[in-house]
Amino acid sequence: MTERRETGRRTSRPGARRPGQSPRRPTKTTPKFGTEAEGERIAKYLARAGVASRRACETLIEEGKVTIDGRKVKTPAEKVTGREDIRVGGLQIAAPERARVWRYHKPAGLITTNSDPAGRRTVFDELPKALPRTVTIGRLDLNTEGLLLLTNDGGLARALELPGNDMVRTYRARAFGKVDPAKLERLAAGITVEGERFGKIEAVLEQETGANSWLRVSLTEGKKREVRRALEAVGLQVNRLIRVSYGPFELGELRPGAVEEIPAASLQELLPEDMLSKARRVPEKRRPSGRGAAGSRLGKPRR
């Protein structure tokens, strides 16, 4: 911002008052590029860079192990832009990657978690080895197949999961039982199952095949086993469930087990600008994370 100037003769000292002049009220100015007001808190920056959890990064700062341009950081609230020389224990920290999103066609029989005490295969066991550290956007249960979104940005994942963002999840469900208008109306009005209230669920009959029917089911919530439980509550036993879309993202012709990154330009077109710009300021949800979660993005030690 350019300096504000008054017309007429300047006083001998910048900001001095002439006799009888009322004191000026402080004016708010936009912080200049590179000032302390710009950037992101160092603890969050380190967490996004894969060093450790945000709480652990705060501990590293308290222990005096974090430096910015050679000086020790005294508070986790200090802001950085990523252009600084940031180090932890003398090791340089690589800047976090831009937010990236992948489509994954999850096969049935995999659980959406990082590891399983029972030894069952997880989605992360099946992902390509070259894929960077990722977290899932929402979950699919063991026997549900179809579209599962992955991202390297926990804040973006949380933003896409929030119920207030009205991200419509659409499934194709094969269910045993007779489909009639009364059952579909009950779902559309919202239904309570075992004391838990589900919001509006839009279900459309697509095809009847003997004792089974195929329905297209859409909802904006992501509660545990919601589609299965809601359909069971109206007398429809789900025996196959495929998620075909999540918000603007579609499964399309992606084959089971395949992973495909969504181009950055497409993300800009498909997601609201405010969601992308604020994604990394949304508190990250504690969740199992994917391949490489235990590693860090430390660079070379200081020489």
Catalytic annotation, residues: 141
Distance CA 237, CA 136 (A): 27
For residues 126 and 111, the answer to whether their CB atoms sit within 8 Å is no
The pair of structure tokens assigned to 80 is 């950085």
In sequence order, what are the beta bridge partners of 206?
A: none
Q: Is 255 helix (H, G, I), strand (E, B) or coil?
A: coil
Distances (CA, A) of 203 to 98, 181, 208, 251: 37, 10, 14, 19
Residues 6+ apart with CB under 8 A from 52: 46, 60, 296
Strand 144-151 vs strand 237-246: parallel, antiparallel, or unpaired? parallel
DSSP assignment, residue 25? P
DSSP assignment, residue 16? P
Alpha helices (H) along 12-67: 42-48, 54-62
* Own/partner long-range contacts of 112-118 (Cβ < 8 Å, ≥24 apart): 112/136, 112/139, 112/140, 112/141, 112/148, 113/288, 114/288, 114/289, 114/290, 114/293, 115/288
The pair of structure tokens assigned to 143 is 């026997």
Identify the sign of the CA torsion 226, 188, 149, 41: negative
Distance CA 40, CA 80 (A): 5
